Structure 1
Amino acid sequence: MNASLNAVAGHFTILPLRLTFRLGADCELPVFKGSMWHGWLGQALKSHDEHAFFVLFGEHAEGQPKPYSVVVEDDQRSHWRKGELIHFTLYLFAEVCQLAERIVDALQAGCRLGLGKARTQVQLLSVASQTPSGLKPGIQPSVLGSWLTPIDSGFSQEVALEFVTPLRLKVAQQQLRKSPPLAILCQQIKRRLTLLTRFWLCDDNTLLQGLHQSLPVLGQHEHSDFMYFENWQRFSNKQQAQIPFGGMKGQSSYCGEIADAIPWLQLGELIGIGGKTTFGLGRYRLIA
């Protein structure tokens, strides 16, 4: 990694909060719950903490990414029973990690709003932080650099990306319908990290220019595509209609002279890539 990427990774704070709730009654919930939790988060913040709502949901500048992501990896069933536990992970990025206690307080108060169309009562049971050393109780932020695993650059490497939520990625203004080349993946990760850094960490032209020039040099490598298009939809309260929300899922693998790309893939696993990352899309597990 170059100096700029090292500097960002050493100062960029990340806080993945795993939030566990207990359902107070039998209920029916949407198949895709990222949109449901995203809307519920906004309502809870707006009713309890206007400042936190403004920071997370407000429109601050053109092209500015939101400093959070709502990620759901529960099964896609719609019928739930009283007493069952349901989870989602709220990723907070950079300076917004400082609002973590206020956000958790708002979520605790927001339980009275209920969940889903029936406004099913829920109880916030636990708050834990995903850290490089595992799941820890309470609020425990870390920096991006602490998640990076050193890679021996002298050998051929093999990695795979397993997309657990749809990847919405445009190339030449066209929605991607197949596994992306590794160079394009790294460009997308760099773009997202640069924007998050600029707006939520440090708007320093020298640092950002160095980050812009820090893409990995890839040698010869093979690319295997095991991905498919999954056509999700979500209900938009703003448009009062179902809107397309699908993307690529499955697995993409790369083998060869790709060691320089692995730190970028490790970062992408944390911040997400592509469109609709705020709703939890573009999340993958890195197998390396």
Structure 2
Amino acid sequence: MNNDTITDYIFQRLPETERLDFERAMAANDALRQEVGELKKVWKLLKNAEPAADEALDNSFYKLLEEEKGNSKRPVIALKPRINWGNWARYAAVVASIIGAFWAGRQTASPPIEYQTIAAVLPSKTTAIDVPKAPAIVAQKPQKEAVALKESPPAVAKQIAELRKEMQMTQELVVLSLLKDESASARLKGLSYATALNQPANVVIEALIKTLREDESVNVRLSAIEALERFKIKGVLVGQLAQSTEPIEQLTLIETLLRLRAKESLPALKQLEEDPNTDQSVRLAARNGIDELRVEI
């Protein structure tokens, strides 16, 4: 089963007929069904976050894990900065340990809340009877209620923002690790997940650019073009068009730059059109691209 088909199914990008075919294949293949289930569970944890913004991503992430481990009574599996996971099941374990460390730190027991019953003094027409003061009653309220009483809405909002930031950092680390993997299929997965990020950190964009410029696999480079189009990195795509010698990559770049309405690509398109050593289909696409962009000038 093609890895792109799996990721397209998870992200609900398959046409209806292909989706039905894929679900029939899953019904007949236990291993495929298990892999898809694991990927869906993990990806569910890695969505809806806001970006981290600096090159100290790794250091701040592991510092946070160490602090949460120190605050928690629960055992946490330590992660080393140089992650080299062999399969997606390991990614799931890593994510589980991160979430466990975060919530373990949030759920350490807070001091009990004391409730005191105060006896009333009952008036009488003849005699004032003082009812003895009842002893203090210490009641341990549920953990969530104690937190709710102690924390104001701004504090809750701050914790939610921190959690989203940590989830974004986790998601970006998974993408970066996949892009460094020796397996082309793993790098393709990383690129698919990168396209689902919302405003990724600069370190992720730089990794995508490096993949486009240096990866030995044409398929990986084509996926990198798609990811960079998602984030509208026009200048890098124009530069790659001027350097590329693979017809399929050149055609993909031309189509992408036309969708982005990148008029800055006109010099590179003109160079391809006039180069007699360029593939004829590429020269034709370049000529059509020039005509299309010039109409808008």
Taking structure 2 as the reference length, what is the TM-score of the superposition? 0.26
Q: Quick one: higher RCO (CA 8 Å, sep 6+), 1 or 2?
A: 1
Higher strand content, 1 or 2: 1
Taking structure 1 as the reference length, what is the TM-score of the superposition? 0.26
**CA radius of gyration, larger in:** 2
Higher helix content, 1 or 2: 2
